[in-house]
Amino acid sequence: MPTTMRAVVLREHGTIDRLTYEENYPKPQVEPGTVIVKVEASSLNYHDIFTVRGMPGITIPMPVVPGLDIAGTVHEVGEGVTGIEVGDRVVVNPLDSGFNLMGEVRDGGLAQYALVEASQLIPLPDSVSFAEAAALPVAYGTAHRMIVGKKAVTEGDKVLVLGASGGVGTASVLLAKQLGATVVAAVGSHEKGRALLSYGADDYVNYREVAIDRWTRENVGKPSRNSTETGFDVIVNNTGGDTWRPTLKSTKLGGTILVCGATAGFDPIEDLRYIWSFELKVQGSNGFGREDIEALITLIDEHGFRPVIDSVVSLDEAADALWRLERREVTGKVIIAPWGDKS
């Protein structure tokens, strides 16, 4: 049996150029209570960029294989593991029992094999492709917990999704539509806006051309302290930075702002007057649970739900694809296929 494998490896923090494609990275060895998964698909998240850069307060053991999301087949089963067979189709809960994240504290999915705890495995029906499954855990799981789990959106709501072309963004658009909301996608280009319309958004705003609070005033009505008829019921903001204040100014009286990230900055200019005057609810949401991933698999299996996939690339193209993510050139999820032709 080969003792090495192909993998994308981070050995020191810096730019995405620090990621190296390696042919002879050590293949993980199975341990009691664990399973080796043959990785058929992984996916990129903005979190991988934070991992490469380094995050305050989080120590990443080096070297590390990034890639939070993993779908594949069971390759080897460790001692003491029951109910799991070699060849089973699975998706991996990225958090282990100690709340360590795959692809951050533990070697992740940008490799041909991954070592996971048996308890992290979630069975995958044949109706869900490996690429679809790899799109789910972090981006769709987080959006599911935020929107469905917290019962934040109900039928008929007017919902604005910022960063709508991203992984969490596209997931938020699809899930809010599934719940019967009218959804506006805020995006950085008309090309992305047209793509979001094709995935079901009712309208889009290009926030490089018009501030979202102005667009809201002109299209949904300026929020009023006396009426709940104008402004958005719910705004999904995983961007932060200079989108925060316009978000406060676009939410209706008693409306909700959902926050699960801050791609553009975590300490934006605040304006508390909007929070009290319009009785806004700011609802944080962090991560996903196993139940979110299972619910999403059921949505695909039984209700024709389809995650938005931007592209499928091989392992040696993963770093280039992460550059595209950083340059904001992606709509949906980039899937990495470690056994693809080119890797």
Ligand X SMILES: NC(=O)c1ccc[n+]([C@@H]2O[C@H](COP(=O)([O-])OP(=O)(O)OC[C@H]3O[C@@H](n4cnc5c(N)ncnc54)[C@H](OP(=O)(O)O)[C@@H]3O)[C@@H](O)[C@H]2O)c1
Footprint of ligand X (CB under 6 A):
45-47, 138-139, 142, 163, 165-169, 187-188, 192, 238-239, 260-264, 286-287, 325, 328
Q: Which is nearer to ligand X, 34 or 238 (CB)?
A: 238
Here the tokens at position 257 are 């702002």
Q: Which residue is nearest to ligand X (CB)?
A: 166
Rounded to 5°, angle at Cα 189 from 183 and 190: 70
Q: Which is nearer to ligand X, 5 or 313 (CB)?
A: 313
Number of residues that make up the chain: 343
Q: Which is nearer to ligand X, 236 or 315 (CB)?
A: 236
The nearest distance, CB 315 to ligand X, in angstroms, is 19
Rounded to 5°, angle at Cα 43 from 79 and 39: 30
Q: Which is nearer to ligand X, 227 or 286 (CB)?
A: 286
Q: Which is nearer to ligand X, 74 or 175 (CB)?
A: 175
Rounded to 5°, angle at Cα 315 from 311 and 317: 60
Contact 83, 310 (CB under 8 A): no
- Nearest Cα neighbor of 86 from 102, 75, 95 is 75
The nearest distance, CB 44 to ligand X, in angstroms, is 8
Say whether 194 sits in a helix, a strand or coil: helix
Separation of alpha carbons 141 and 188, rounded Å: 24
The nearest distance, CB 327 to ligand X, in angstroms, is 9
Relative to beta strand 89-92, strand 19-26 is: unpaired
Separation of alpha carbons 178 and 203, rounded Å: 16
The nearest distance, CB 167 to ligand X, in angstroms, is 3
The nearest distance, CB 294 to ligand X, in angstroms, is 17
Q: Which is nearer to ligand X, 58 or 86 (CB)?
A: 58
Say whether 235 sits in a helix, a strand or coil: strand
Q: Alpha helices of 136-262 — where are they, by DSSP H?
A: 141-144, 167-178, 190-198, 212-219, 244-248
Separation of alpha carbons 39 and 130, rounded Å: 9
Q: Which is nearer to ligand X, 192 or 252 (CB)?
A: 192
Q: Which is nearer to ligand X, 10 or 74 (CB)?
A: 10
Q: Which is nearer to ligand X, 46 or 305 (CB)?
A: 46
Contact 212, 160 (CB under 8 A): yes
Separation of alpha carbons 160 and 165, rounded Å: 12
The nearest distance, CB 328 to ligand X, in angstroms, is 3
- Nearest Cα neighbor of 200 from 246, 155, 164, 239 is 164
The nearest distance, CB 35 to ligand X, in angstroms, is 24
The nearest distance, CB 222 to ligand X, in angstroms, is 24
